[in-house]
């Protein structure tokens, strides 16, 4: 079994376990309130079965969270410093990840180390320099199977690790 198949199987297992817990909770609430939950349970079973079929043979695609962000568009204002850039990016993140969820995604100015040598350069180059950049962080409880960290990493990789001209990292 290759790595992609293993990842897809693990994702499907997580989705199935989450749906099974939801169905159990539904059955418990229905029993306590005296309501017949069989029709809703049947709908959940059908949705769970369809979900498992759609994830078995395919990977969950990564999403570019900054794809529709006006701050990164062609007519975007170029911020003077990392703090201003973080404010622009936070407005985009607030649309993709509302602050009312189980976790929050924040963009903030930060200092961190990056490799001084370009990728693919000399293997012996291990120089690290400290830079002002943007840190994308996720705080709170990320539910099982939520691809927030994967999506943020993918979004940065599409932009060569830079946002609004500043180096950027994802922190947990």
Tell me how far apart the alpha carbons of residues 114 and 101 are, in angstroms, rounded to a whole number.
31
Tell me how far apart the alpha carbons of residues 44 and 47 are, in angstroms, rounded to a whole number.
5
Q: Is the pLDDT of residue 113 over 60?
A: yes
Q: What is the pLDDT of residue 106?
A: 94
Q: What is the pLDDT of residue 159?
A: 92
**Burial zone of 88 (CB within 10 Å; 0-12 exposed, 13-18 middle, 19+ buried):** buried
| Mean per-residue pLDDT over the chain, rounded | 76
- Say if CB 109 and CB 143 are below 8 A apart: no
pLDDT band per the 50, 70, 90 thresholds, residue 128:
confident
Q: What is the pLDDT of residue 55?
A: 47
pLDDT band per the 50, 70, 90 thresholds, residue 8:
low
Q: What is the pLDDT of residue 27?
A: 59
Instruction: Give the residue ranges of DSSP H helices in the chain.
Output: 3-33, 38-56, 82-96, 148-157
Q: What is the pLDDT of residue 122?
A: 64
Q: Is the pLDDT of residue 119 over 80?
A: no
Tens-digit pLDDT profile for residues 157-166: 999 999 998 9
Q: Is the pLDDT of residue 171 over 70?
A: yes
Tens-digit pLDDT profile for residues 13-62: 444 444 444 445 555 666 666 666 666 555 665 555 555 444 444 567 88
Q: Is the pLDDT of residue 99 over 60?
A: yes
């Amino acid at each position: 079994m290759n790595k992609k198949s293993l990842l897809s199987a693990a994702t499907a297992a997580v989705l199935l376990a989450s749906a099974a817990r939801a169905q159990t909770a539904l059955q418990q609430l229905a029993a306590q309130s005296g309501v017949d939950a069989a029709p809703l349970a049947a709908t959940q079973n059908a949705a769970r079965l369809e979900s498992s079929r759609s994830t078995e043979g395919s990977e969950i695609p990564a999403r570019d969270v900054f794809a529709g962000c006006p701050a990164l568009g062609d007519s975007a204002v170029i911020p003077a410093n990392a703090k201003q850039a973080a404010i622009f990016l936070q407005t985009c993140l607030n649309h993709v990840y509302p602050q009312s969820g189980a976790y929050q995604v924040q963009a903030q100015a930060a200092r961190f180390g990056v490799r001084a040598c370009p990728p693919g350069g000399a293997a012996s180059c291990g120089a690290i320099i400290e830079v002002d950049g943007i840190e994308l962080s996720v705080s709170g409880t990320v539910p099982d199977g939520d691809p927030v960290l994967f999506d943020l990493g993918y979004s940065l990789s599409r932009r060569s690790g830079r946002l609004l001209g500043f180096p950027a990292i994802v922190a947990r």
